[in-house]
Structure formats: structure tokens, C-alpha cells
A and B are shown apart, each in its own frame.
Chain A
Amino acid sequence: NAGVTQTPKFRILKIGQSMTLQCTQDMNHNYMYWYRQDPGMGLKLIYYSVGAGITDKGEVPNGYNVSRSTTEDFPLRLELAAPSQTSVYFCASSQSTGGANTGELFFGEGSRLTVL
């Protein structure tokens, strides 16, 4: 049971380039999230999804896009990378019970992105 898997683990981008961070989970969770973590800060929610075909913005969505075509996959796309997007990105998933989000998130190991 792999849990939440993110790729790549590390990436260096030049300003203006685009890339996609991949995230897949094998727990059949309906909620999925993308967070970014900057030094000395907590996690900030970028986008989230409550199920296949449904996505919505979090606190810091500018410069990012997501899609959720399947339950398992939730890729995060960076368009026109900027130095401000240098961060560690975490994908997470959670389950709902009786319609309520349990709030227990399962995290991937993170993707460290540097934009130069």
C-alpha cells in the first residue's frame, strides 16, 4: 500500500517555464489537496478537490491549475514559473465518513521546486 505518491521529488525550473507535479493515491480517498510550505511557515492550501471532476481554489491559487479526472490522480500545473513559486509542495488526501471530512490527511513526501 503506497499511500500518496508525488513525483518528482526535486526539480529546478527557469523563470517562465511550466511543469506538472504529479500526485496519486491508492486509498480511494475522495478528498485531495495541494499545499505549499515555505520556510518558517505553516502549510498554505493551493487547490483542493472533493471528488473526481470537482476542484476549487484554496488560499493561494494564483499561478497554478489543477484537474481531477480520476479519484486517484490530482496533478498540479505551474504555468509561467516565477521565483515566488520556489517552495516545497505537498499533496494530501483524506476520506469522508457519513459525508463528513474526517480531517485526517495523508501526505506525500513532498516535491521541492526551485525557480531560478
Chain B
Amino acid sequence: AQSVTQLDSHVSVSEGTPVLLRCNYSSSYSPSLFWYVQHPNKGLQLLLKYTSAATLVKGINGFEAEFKKSETSFHLTKPSAHMSDAAEYFCVVSEGGSSYKLIFGSGTRLLVRP
């Protein structure tokens, strides 16, 4: 069975400092992995996705994530936080292929201090 665990429910950083949001996954298959962002009172938007190509994936707004199979991790990073990055971030795992099943983590709320 697939699962995804986001290790921090809240992360607080100062503007201009690095961001690290942690995600571990469990999958019996070769997974596809995603990070989605949700700004207040909005729907979710795709940040980036990993689908068995390059292990370092670049997304929108300067975010990137590295797939580490040995650690079953897919952590999201950004070198320098901006106030507009304050939002909720969801790590998502899919079986890939024709699967409709996407399993969402419980989310990490990112707070950015001025």
C-alpha cells in the first residue's frame, strides 16, 4: 500500500532564508511524486513532479525537490524564501501509469516571517 508522510505540520522561516519541507513515501511500485501548493481559500496548484526521469526536479517559483530512493524521500527546497511562499504544501504519491489514485500527505503550513 502506498502512503506519504509529511514530517512537519508547520515550518517557520525568515524571508530570504532557505526552505526545507520534508516528505517520506512508501510505495510498492515505481512511484510518481508531486508537490502541490495551496494558498489561502484557493485550490491546489502543481509545483513540481517526479516521474522516473531526473532525480532532481525543478518546479515553479524557484522550488525544487530531490527523489532519493534509498531514503524513500522527496523533500522540497527553495534557496531563499519570499513572503508570497507562505501557503500549505502537500506531498502526493501516485502509482503512476494509468492509476487514478493519488495519495495526499496531511500538509505542511509554511510561515514566512519578515
Contact = CB atoms under 8 A, between A and B. Distances in A.
Interface residues of B, number: 27
Contacts of A41: 106-107
Nearest to B93: A103
Nearest to A108: B43
B104 A107 contact: no
Contacts of B94: 101, 103
A4 B43 contact: yes
A103 B96 contact: yes
Contacts, number: 62
Interface majority SS on A: helix, strand, loop or mixed? strand
Nearest to A109: B43
Contacts of A92: 43-44
B99 interface: yes
Given A42-B90, A100-B97, A105 B106 contact: no
Interface of A: 4, 31, 33, 35, 40-45, 48, 50, 90, 92, 96, 99-101, 103-105, 107-110
Given A43-B90, A105-B46, 5 more contacts: A40-B107, A103-B92, A105-B102, A107-B43, A110-B41
